[in-house]
Structure 1
Amino acid sequence: MDVKIGTFNVLNLARPGERFYPDERPYSAAEYEEKAAWIANQLRLMDADLVGFQEVFHEEALRDVCARSGQFPDATVVAPGADGSSGPRLGLVTRLPLDGPVTAVTDFPPGTDVAVDGVGLPVGTFSRPVLRAPVVLDPAEGTTSTVFVAHLKSKRPIRDPRAPDHDPREEALGKARALIRRAAEAAALRFLVLDEIVGNARPTIVVGDLNDAVRAVTTDVIMGDSPSRFWPSDPEDRRAYWDRLLYSAHELTVRRTGRDVSYTHVFNGHYENLDHVLVSQEFYERNPQRIAEVSYLRYLNDHLVDSQLSNDRRDRIASDHAQLVAEIHLL
């Protein structure tokens, strides 16, 4: 049996006529129709059993585009807190059964604020609350996985509004502030993941826009460090390390195919993988006790444009991110 798990940053999905950012005009009825049709078509191309969404402003709009796709009859569609006044939120659609409610996690878990050597993480909440969903991957076998949908802070600077525009010193500080928030959110997400995977055989999947590359520090924080070839030497200690790791579907696919021509975002000529599917050891092909394997990772990125090379201008209809679909073969 195969299941397909996807992630989709929809770029400001909001109802027509309703302002979603103070400096952005609302979508006209015609714009919304075009955007909803584009998203629905991408969902048909993805053909995923479960999709985690980022940048959802109205749950009603998410339900609309999922219905238009024709892919999710009788499916569960949720976007907790996406009421138009709470900023961009996360959403989820699944035609797989749920083994409990989908919950939104706003506050960081206890322990993330511990200072060491005078350095702490002065952030206590996710900028976009993380979704946690218990999903039944295989009803016949009763195989349930915890799925997290995440959208970490972007690289866009957090600027002091009193600072003059284009001040290079303030730009440097703004990027550092954004990195601190993204790092804190990564550590807090790591705590949530560890609560799920350590000391049990509970499979876990993280999908979303993590706003950094697969081996960037913040993404690495979420995944954890694997033991080196000779350390630790004690087998029990090594098993403890394996038990708390996540693996990138991107890296697993590249290792199998021997090629890496992927990207999920293009900005100022830089091609980056900011969107990810991460899986626990229960999906790792080298684990003899695995229950499944990531067999393939698809990138839907033909709509992305390099503004340094093309005269085409990006509009508000198509997303500025690629969509990812991980195909998982259950054993």
Structure 2
Amino acid sequence: MQLTLMTLNLYNYVAPPAAAYEIDNILEPDQWLKKQAWIAQTIEQADPDVVAFQEVFSAAELAQLCADLGYAYFEFTPASIADDSHVYYKPGLALASKYPLDKKLTHKDIPADVFSRPPLITELNLTGFGALRLYVVHLKSKRSLLDKAKEASATELEHYMGRWASDQLRTQEMTLLMQDILLQRQQAKQGVIVFGDFNDDLSQGSLPLAFATPSPKALDTEKNWSMHDSYSLYATTDERRPTHYYGVHGRILDYILLSGEFASNYGQQIGLVTGYQCIDRHLTHSNFDEHSQASDHAAVVVKLTSLHH
């Protein structure tokens, strides 16, 4: 059996007349239709079985869009909106699937309120793969962590310290995420998939700890704790493409991580990575008519093939 996965930061997915972050950040009706059309086209191009989304303010509208495309199962974390206002100040996450999602899991082992955006956790059970634990994350950005009321008047030093605080929070988020994954893997041997915008290169800061190789004296069980970047498990010599650009400088911020069950050195391997794609035409060859309401992130698509029937 094959399973195709996709992750995509939608970049302020908010249906008019609501706004994202600022009171005047409202899409015109024609802009909204263009955004909907681009998302639908991107999903249809990749044809994933499961697709994760970040920066979701209007979950009901996204659920309907996905349902129209054949994704009957949809889970989300709610966005936060100011009282007596149409302005959202914190986005949610979402996951759409062609296959039933067993349940939306609560954060029993991690304090979700520590996260800038609490992760979405659910499960999928498929023939050939068994039970898979799915996480959708959107880690803290590099933007300075400052009180919004003081942001405009903050000094250069305060902005610098705010960026440092953001990095520390992202480190804490990654630590808590791995803690939850490892605690669950102690209790149940099931495959784990993490979809997300990590807002950093996975080789930076604390993020590489997810891939740390235990010492040679480690217990056999510990050797199976590491997560794997799906790209690294795919046999390709193609140069990896950035998923986001700051001006002309590209960076890889969006990833699909897999547990040891998809690595060849794991004794209980259940599947192989048989495809990896970065859908980025809207970033590298932008056409205003077609891409004016596209995301500022590329979509990452990964294909898995099960080793069991």
The TM-score normalised by the length of structure 1 is: 0.82
Taking the TM superposition and a 5 Å limit, the aligned residue runs for 1:2-21 are: 2-21=2-21
Count of aligned positions: 300
Q: Structure 2: give runs of 5+ residues left out of the alignment.
A: 82-87
C-alpha distance in structure 1 between counterparts of 2:263 and 2:229, whole Å: 10
2:206 equivalent to 1:218: yes
1:145 and 2:132 aligned: yes
User: Please, which of 92, 101, 104 is the counterpart of residue 102 of structure 1?
Assistant: 104
Distance 1:172-1:108 versus aligned 2 partners, 3 A rule: farther
Preserved contact between residue 282 and residue 291 of structure 2 (Cα < 8 Å)? no
The 3 A distance-change label for structure 1 pair 163 and 301 is closer
Equivalent residue, structure 2, for 1:77: 74
The answer for unaligned runs of 5 or more in structure 1 is: 111-122
Written as runs of structure 1 = structure 2, the 5 A alignment for 1:1-331 is 1-68=1-68, 70-72=69-71, 75-82=72-79, 85=88, 87-99=90-102, 101-103=103-105, 105=107, 109=110, 125-138=114-127, 141=128, 143-159=130-146, 161-162=149-150, 167-198=155-186, 200-221=188-209, 223-227=210-214, 231-233=215-217, 237-253=218-234, 256-305=235-284, 317-331=293-307
Structure 1 counterpart of 2:236, one-letter code: T
Alignment deviations for residues 183-210 of structure 1 (CA, whole Å, 9 cap, x no partner): 1111111111112223642111111101
Once the two structures are superposed, residues 91-118 of structure 1 have per-residue CA deviations (whole angstroms, 9 ceiling, x without a partner) of 010112223x22364x8727xxxxxxxx
TM-score normalised by the chain length of structure 2? 0.87
SS in 1 for 2:25: coil
Q: 1:143 to 1:262 in 2, by over 3 A?
A: same
Q: What's the RMSD between the two structures over aligned residues?
A: 2.7
Change (3 A) 1:129 1:298: same
> What is the distance in 2 between the residues matched to 1:34 and 1:52?
20
Asked if the contact 1:104/1:130 (under 8 Å) is kept, the reply is no
The letter for the 2-side match of 1:218 is S
Task: Confirm or deny: 8 A CA contact 2:140 2:170 kept in the other structure.
Answer: yes
% identity of equivalent residues: 28
1:21: how far off?
1.4
State the SS of the aligned residue for 2:213. coil
Higher relative contact order (CA 8 A, sep 6+): 2
Deviation for aligned residue 1:296:
1.6
DSSP 3-state at the match of 2:208: helix
- AA matched with 1:232: P
C-alpha separation between the residues in 1 aligned to 2:302 and 2:287?
32
Change (3 A) 1:271 1:156: same
Tell me the secondary structure at the aligned position of residue 257 of structure 1. coil
1:168–1:295: structure 2 CA closer, same or farther, 3 Å change rule? same
| 1:82 Cα offset (Å) | 3.6
Q: Which residue of 2 aligns with 1:114?
A: none
Query: One-letter code of the match for 1:302?
Result: R
In the alignment, is the contact (CA less than 8 A) between 1:303 and 1:318 conserved in 2?
A: yes
1:157–1:144 Cα change, 3 Å: same
- Matches of 2:255 and 2:52 in 1, distance apart? 11
* Larger mean Cα displacement after TM superposition, 180-189 or 20-29: 20-29
Q: Secondary structure at the match of 2:199?
A: coil
Shift of residue 305, structure 1, vs aligned partner: 4.7
The alpha carbon displacement at 1:78 in A equals 2.3
8 Å CA contact 1:294, 1:327 repeated in 2: yes
